[in-house]
Every structure is written in structure tokens, then in C-alpha cells.
Amino acid sequence: MSDARGKAGVSRIDAKFAALRAEGRGALGIFVSAGDPDFETGLAILKGLPGAGADMIEFGMPFTDPMADGPAIQESSQRALKAGMTLTGVLEMVRAFRAGDQDTPMILMGYYNPIYSYGVDRFIEDALASGVDGLIVVDLPPEEDRELCLPALARGLGFVRLATPTTDDVRLPAVLKNTAGFVYYVSIMGITGTAEVPTDLVTKAVERLKRHTDLPVCVGFGITTPEQAAGIARCADGAIVGTAVVKTIKASLDHEGRATEATVSDTLGFVRGLADGVRGARRPAPHA
């Protein structure tokens, strides 16, 4: 049994969504960049996320050219890199997190270049040993599955794929073919954190995706408030919030971009508000 597996041989991701279905609610996924604004503060935030209500964590692998991310997440990545974060450091943080939490799904999110430089086989082995459950690599399309996706899946490391408003029914089977864990639906076009999520359109999109896959569908990009998170949690299997979280981190820093006494508490307080919204959102009962 690989280290990406939880109790009874069921992956942490699968186990989490099964538990949430039993509760009748959607998941709250939280994105933070590893090591933002520094290793110690970032680790304190990471360790505090489950207690603040995060059901799963997307852990950003800082990269110098995060082309799919908006300004706020780009800045969070730059802060982490400036503080000395590396891919080795990311995995070290996951190991430290796993020392106190064996249940919360942890998905690494980022770009292929750092993984390629690290070495694909070595990365997969080290990610599993650290306690990583899945990967989101935004610049590897299905046509490049042999690069990372298939080797990862063969070892029991989930590969989560993005679907967008322009992913039509012709393209969708290729996107879903080797997807594992859940499908990440990008609710708006463009880069992260630059527009509000259109809940009515998302509802229709989730319904369409559900006709093509039995995997949970989580929605991200554009969710900034507890009310928006609740709205998404009613129509999808999960709401993922990133930009608003890293903006909260930034707002707590001093004029030189360093952590203050408020950084951890402000960030976790914001996540608690999102979690309250999601937990208060009742989902329609599934059809018999």
C-alpha cells in the first residue's frame, strides 16, 4: 500500500468525499503557496487549515513563471521563492504536516518544469513518501500524459485534471480519461482571481460534467466570500478558494513583506468564515 493511501486502502481523497457525501455537504478546498511568506509561518498556516475547516489542501509549488495564476498567487509564489522555498522544501512541509494529520487530502499544484528538473521518478517516489495524495500540473495537457500523469497513476498518486468553460463534449473524454480523485472545474476564463464566479453557469457546467464522469467535481477560480463558497458547495462537490486566501496573507504582512503576529490568525480566521459558509449550505438529496 503506497503512502498516498489512507485507512483500509482507500485514498484520502476518495475517503474524504465519501465522508462528506454522508454528511450531505460539499468540500472546502484551500490553496496556499508552500512557504508563503516564509517556511515557519507557512507551516503554521498549513497545520492550522484542517482545524479551521479546510477539507482538503491544494499546496502550491512555487515557480518563477506561474502563467495560469493571477497577480495575487504570483506574488505569493514570489514571496515563497524569495524566502528560499524549493521543491524539496515543499515536500519537507508536507512531511511535517503529515506528522500530525493523516486524514486531510493534500494535492500539490503547480507547473511541470520544477518536477522535470527534480526528476519525474524521484519526484513521484518522494511525493508519495511525504504523504502527497494527488497532483495538479496545469501545463501538462492529456497529450503529454506519458510525461508524468501515467507514471504517477501507476504508483497510486492521483492526477487531477482541469476542465474549463471551453472544454466541450468532444474534448472532455480526453481530459477525463486519466483523471483521478476529482475533476477541477475552472469556473471562469482567464487567470485566477480576476473575476467573480457565475453560479448559475457553474451549476449547468457541473451537471454536464456529471454526465461524463462519476468523479466528484470541485469548482475553483473566483470564489472570494463565504456566501459564494456556500453557493458553489450546493451545486458542486466542493468549492476551492485560493486567491482570497493569499490576499489575506498579504494583507497581514508588514511593509517589508514579512509575517506579523496577525498573519496566521488572520488567515485561519478567514478560512473559518469560508468553512462556516460551506457547512451551512445544504445540498439537494441525491436522486434515488
User: Is 38 a residue of the active site?
Assistant: no
Cβ atoms within 10 Å, residue 264: 20
Residues near 167 by beta carbon (within 8 Å), at least 6 away in sequence: 175
Among residues 36, 58, 92, 126, the one annotated as catalytic is: 58
Please tell me the distance from the alpha carbon of residue 40 to that of residue 185, in angstroms, as a whole number.
32
Cα 171 to chain centroid distance, Å, stands at 23
204 residue type, one letter: K
CA–CA distance, 160 with 218 (Å, rounded to integer): 10
**At 211, is the secondary structure helix, strand, or coil?**
coil
In sequence order, the β-bridge partners of residue 137 are 110
Closest CA to 275 of 225, 222, 235: 225
Q: Grid coordinates standing for 169?
A: 463534449
Query: Is position 69 annotated as part of the catalytic site?
Result: yes
Contact indicator for 148, 111 with CB cutoff of 8 Å: no
Helix count (H) and strand count (E) of the chain? Answer: 12, 9
Q: Select which of 55, 69, 145, 237 is catalytic.
A: 69
Show which residues are catalytic.
Answer: 58, 69
